Structure 1
Amino acid sequence: MNAGGHSPEARKVAREAAQWLALLESGAAREQDHLQLQRWRDSHGAHESAWQKVQLLRQRFRGLPLALAMATLDRPDPGRRKILKQALCVSALVPTAWLLGRQLPLEVWQADLHTATGEHTRSSLADGSTLQLNTDSAVNVDLRSRLITLVRGEIALKVPGSAALTVQAPYGRFTLSRGEVCVRLDREDCQVSVVSGTAQLQPLQGPPLLLPEGRQVSLRASGAGPVSAFDASLPGWRERVLMAQNQPLGDFLRELGRYRPGVLRWDPALEALRVTGSFRLDDTDRILALLAASLPLQVQTRTRFWVSLVPRHKSV
């Protein structure tokens, strides 16, 4: 775990503050949004501290463009006004992007391979192995040492059998000689799922164990959890598909939110609705539209990056 401002909780608060700033700067904020922002600020000291930081940054970046605006917007040059307005829009985004960048660990930016939110990559390594990175993920690859280090997010690794590969994660490591595994790193654990073959695991604490095909286990700082069955069809992200089988809508939306930049909110009354289906991750807006067509909810879009789901016929 990272400490201080690089902890997952600190990054989460910084993202929330930046998202609130983006909403206010968009001009689409309503009176209820301002009230919700105030409740968010009052709910925790860290929230208020983060909000003051984004306000300070906003003022720091705002000064020069606004001064230019006063001198230029009234001039009868449509082209100049257009360029200036574009510059003002860019300047409004700078503090948000800067803040989010500062809150991400340096090792993510320096990783050999990494993906942005909603991005997916598939790489063929020099030894014939295939490495896929899911949304918001990062790894370092050292084939000379036969080592892949998972820095962030989720990967799928397929090893052809020419030579074993070891994956190092914060809560342990495992080695695969031949087969395929999926590995997901969350805040407090790392889930290892074996699609095919057998993985040799060494948790940070406790004895090593063999994990055969169709089994999965969570590694934590305290050691390995219980081994359980694994449905190899579930990590559909490898084929850019999000799958649900009678899943609570709240859980489905929390997973969908990993693939969408910006804010995705929903009324708590929708949490218990059930979702079944396979959804293409190439267009998350379409997924929301499909949910609205099949469930008693409606999608309210403030901006491309601020979307709310509410019960049908109920306004936010």
Structure 2
Amino acid sequence: MYQEAKRRLRGSIAPIVTPFDEQMNVDVQALKGLIEWHIASGTHGISVTGTTGEPSSLTIEERELVMETAIKTAAGRVPVVPGTGSTNHAEALHLTKRAQEMGADAAMVIVPYYNRPNQQALYNHFKTIADSVDIPIIIYNIPGRTAVNLEVKTLARLAEDCRNIIGVKESNKDFEHVNRVLLNCGRDFLLYSGIELLCYPMLAIGGAGHVSATANVMPKEVADLYNLWMAGEVEAAIDLHYKMMPLNDVLFKDTNPGPLKTALGMMGKMNPALRLPMGPPSVELQQEIRQTLISYGLLDEKVGMKE
């Protein structure tokens, strides 16, 4: 079961934004449209309710709604890996169990944020969640958001003790750390980049793919980065890596997913609304985003949007 999951859960697993309508309710139809666009564009897998999906701005019921919508819309065409983590242990347990009940292909569970648990507490948290379900678990380590780093030795213990902990999304700028993940957890452990500028480098050291927010704007290109690498077209993959850097840079000049939703709004994909306490980028950054999209051919300078 888990070996098959390791085979399927590779490539660009796009972390989809959560669209809101004018009344600030979850826009289910817009979410379905985004998922269909991703599948048509060659995205290898879908993730919802991760950082890019604003889970801390959603109620438990809304998170379940988004998860269920994604699973039903994908309908087995690509794997769906919802984010089920929380700073509240009971909530994380509940959401991970619900993901399994809904038919998710795996669950992505973030290191708890704000409360800064020690390494033994992190081990206990993840092991309890993994032991509660049969579906594969991908741990999500993002120390810049959580204020605590899941150490490699802790991750290796979890990988050894829990058969269904099969991988990790590392939004970790410490490239030595991510190298040591595969050294200590085994080369078949699934390592995903959650840092845009490390998507290509992580493939080069044996990574399984990436969970890149930029895929929301350029799903085909982010998927192609993996496809080119796997096809042995190294120079083309490197060219694409550098081609996407200006877009990657502008999308992270303010807190994700603010710039990302602004871009998708400009592209006509969805209402760009964010729930408080998040807010839109400055007018100056919005203009920079617009010019960047134009430079990539994603918007038409005269009519405002590419057909």
TM-score w.r.t. length of structure 2: 0.31
Q: Which has the larger strand fraction?
A: 1
Give the structure with higher Rg (CA): 1
